[in-house]
Chain A
Amino acid sequence: MQDLTDAFVELIRRASTQLPEDMQKALREAKAQEEPGSAAENALETILKNVALARQNSTPICQDTGTPIFEIYYPFGVSTRALAEQIRKACAIATERAYLRPNAVNPITGENSGNNTGEDFPTMHFHEWDKDELQVYLLLKGGGCENVSTQYKLPDTRLHAGRDLEGVRRVVLDAVHQAQGRGCAPGVLGIAIGGDRGASYIKSKQQLLRPLDDENPDPQLAEMEEELLEEGNQLGIGPMGFGGKTTLLGVKIGALHRVPASYFVSIAYMCWANRRASMRVSGEEITYA
């Protein structure tokens, strides 16, 4: 396969500077719902202006360009080691061009590597599939919303949350309340039910790559996504936590098998700047979405 370093730089640029259309639509609809002249409406207006400006000037939507998380689906025979090297190189170039902020800090020495590469940084997950093309998804996950992301272990006595979907509902609503505006509301929730702690967190973040208007193939989870979106918004936290009708823009739920003893619910909170982009390489042709 050809060297894709430049293509990865372009993928990063798009993710950092262009908010996906479904997110923009959701923000516009949210603005229309808020009280005219309220702090909530004002915040959403500023957000929309910022989104337009970032796209126009090719500058980051948010200065916290987060942890770059790459989900790579590759055909049989492609070297994942070569792809990983190209992705790391692309991160360094994108940092030089100010599409990314230097965001990789050594936790022992406190030193910032200066180029967004480091130990297990950026995050990359490789999946071999049976298609003859390469598909790469990128999520830029900011630190503010990562800090309000959380994991519950059911049963949870404080919330009277048992090991069933009603228990899941209770802890998710608690998580939204706990987050207040600090995850840069209105946010999107990626939720994973089950798994061990690690797998559960990864799955919850992968939910954030789903478009807002897709339909969960599991009808029970599809219903729950709608219900939690509505109930989350009833909390009245509002954009930036200023109070208002829009606290969440989307809820996406996935499930994975668990061991009998554990029942984890992981909640990945994503800020309104849900920066996701994807790229497909089919032969010589590269397309972005």
Chain B
Amino acid sequence: MRKLTVPISEETIRALQVGETVSLSGVIVTGRDAAHKYMIENFIHTNGQPPQSEREVYAALKEILGDGVLYHCGPVVKKEGNTWHFVAAGPTTSIREEPYEADVMEHFGIRAVIGKGGMGPKTLEACQRLGAVYLHAIGGAASLIAQSVKEVLAVHKLEFGVPEAFWVIRVEDFPAVVTMDSHGNSLHKQVVQQSEAQLAALLEK
């Protein structure tokens, strides 16, 4: 088990290999479908010149995401007084962000994306080129992962709804597995190829 602390250097990321388990600590941010659409439209299509109304969010995200970590997650939260708590916070399916992720990673200098189910060739290429990895959290392990979320520091774009907002969180010992590394390897690609061969054999019968 390798311990990672955010911000993460390119050198640390380049040392990671597919199949390794990691334990992540530091400040990260959640973002899923609405967040990606928003980032593409407001930050990337505008070449980093977002409309006035979005500049504050942009500045906050830039600070967290540079050498940082983006987590595909739509949590269950609870508000007690003025403080938010994460009650359940497992990963959501990442492949929906495949059209956008490489651009988002490049724009912000993201070092790791956490999610489930893996991502496609465009993201894998970006991991290799930019020095980044895809970390697979255990899908559905929501109560357990919520325990590693120690603090909710901020929330942006809550108008997208609780699952879709950007939640800035401090995590300690967040468990995940490297399934796409910065050397062009993808565990997902390997498993697809193996199961394809098995399927062909079963259909021969």
Among the stretches A73-81, A99-107, A124-132, A254-262, the one at the interface with B is: A99-107
CB pair A242–B177 under 8 Å, yes or no, is yes
Closest chain-A Cβ to B189's Cβ sits at a distance in Å of: 11
Among the stretches A4-12, A193-201, A207-215, A228-236, the one at the interface with B is: A228-236
Chain A residues numbered 158-177 whose CB sits less than 8 Å from any CB in chain B: 159-160, 170, 173-174, 177
A45 and chain B: residue at smallest CB distance? B138
Task: Choose one: A47, A59, A160, A180; the contact of B191 (CB below 8 Å).
Answer: A180
Most buried by B among A54, A63, A102, A114: A63
B111 interfacial contact with A, CB 8 Å = no
A112 interfacial contact with B, CB 8 Å = yes
Residues of B within 8 A of A112 (CB): 160-164
Chain A contact residues: helix, strand, loop or mixed: loop
Chain B residues numbered 94-134 whose CB sits less than 8 Å from any CB in chain A: 95, 116-118
Q: Tally inter-chain residue pairs, CB-CB below 8 A.
A: 166
Task: Choose one: B34, B89, B138, B192; the contact of A110 (CB below 8 Å).
Answer: B34
B68 interfacial contact with A, CB 8 Å = no
CB pair B162–A101 under 8 Å, yes or no, is yes
A240 interfacial contact with B, CB 8 Å = yes
Bitwise interface map of B from 171 to 205 toward A, beta carbon under 8 Å scored 1, else 0: 00001010100000001101110111011001100
Cα distance A55–B4 in the bound complex, in angstroms:
30
CB pair A47–B140 under 8 Å, yes or no, is yes
Cα distance A98–B77 in the bound complex, in angstroms:
7
Task: Choose one: A57, A231, A241; the contact of B143 (CB below 8 Å).
Answer: A57
Task: State which size class the interface on B falls in.
Answer: 35 or more
Residues of B within 8 A of A231 (CB): 202
Cα distance A199–B54 in the bound complex, in angstroms:
46
Cα distance A62–B92 in the bound complex, in angstroms:
10
Residues of B within 8 A of A64 (CB): 74, 90, 92, 142
Residues of B within 8 A of A110 (CB): 34
* Known interface pairs A47-B138, A181-B118; 16 further A-B residue pairs with C-beta atoms within 8 A, sorted by A's residue number: A57-B143, A60-B88, A61-B88, A63-B73, A63-B142, A64-B74, A101-B76, A101-B163, A110-B34, A142-B140, A144-B93, A144-B117, A234-B202, A236-B198, A237-B195, A243-B190
24 A-B pairs with C-beta separation under 8 A? A50-B143, A53-B144, A53-B147, A54-B88, A59-B76, A59-B87, A61-B142, A62-B140, A63-B75, A63-B90, A101-B74, A101-B88, A101-B163, A112-B161, A147-B93, A173-B202, A177-B199, A180-B191, A182-B117, A184-B139, A235-B195, A243-B187, A243-B191, A243-B194
CB pair A237–B144 under 8 Å, yes or no, is no
B7 interfacial contact with A, CB 8 Å = no
CB pair A59–B138 under 8 Å, yes or no, is no
Residues of A within 8 A of B77 (CB): 98
Task: Choose one: B117, B162, B202; the contact of A181 (CB below 8 Å).
Answer: B117
